[in-house]
Amino acid sequence: QLQASGGGLVQTGDSLRLSCVASGRTSSRFAVGWFRQAPGKKREFVSAINWRFESTYFADSVEGRFTISRDNAKNMVYLQMNSLKPEDTAVYFCAAVYPSTFYSQNYYTAGIYDFWGSGTLVTVSS
C-alpha cells in the first residue's frame, strides 16, 4: 500500500514537501513515481525515482523547482516542491512499479504503475 501526505494550501512561491510511505509488497525495491491531476485534466507525470541507482526524472514543467528523494530504510519517498505556482494546483498521487517495468516501459506513463496511493491535495493561490 502507498499513502501520500503533505499537501495543503500555500501561496505562489512557497514550498511544500510531499511524502509517500510504502508498506507491504510496495516497500521493497520498487520504482516510485509522482503524478498529479488537476480538475478537469488528465493525470500527468511529475517525477520518478528508481530504487537502486537513485536516478531521478522530472516533467519539464517542474524541472528545477521540484526534487525527489527516497529513504529506503523508512520506505519513504519525498517530493520537495519549491517555487510553487498556481498551475501546480492538483491532487498528487504516488505510485509504485516493478523495476523491470520501470526500465522497459515509459516511466512517465501512469498506466505502467502497479500500485497507487490515495492522493493529497495541493492548492497554490495566486
3-state DSSP: the chain helix, strand, coil percent, rounded to 5? 15, 50, 40
Each residue's pLDDT tens digit in the chain (126 positions)? Answer: 899 999 999 999 999 999 999 887 655 688 999 999 999 999 999 999 997 767 899 999 999 999 999 988 888 999 999 999 999 999 999 999 988 888 888 999 999 999 999 999 999 999
- Position 28 scores a pLDDT of 60
Burial 77-97 (b: 16+ CB within 10 A, else e): bbbebeebeeebbbbbbbbbb
What is residue 2's predicted lDDT score, i.e. its pLDDT?
92
**Confidence (pLDDT) at 26:** 57
pLDDT at 21: 93
| Predicted pLDDT at 91 | 98
Give the sheet arrangement for strand 2-5, strand by strand: 2-5, 16-22, 76-81, 66-71
pLDDT for position 100: 83
Over residues 68-80, the pLDDT tens digits come to 999 888 889 999 9
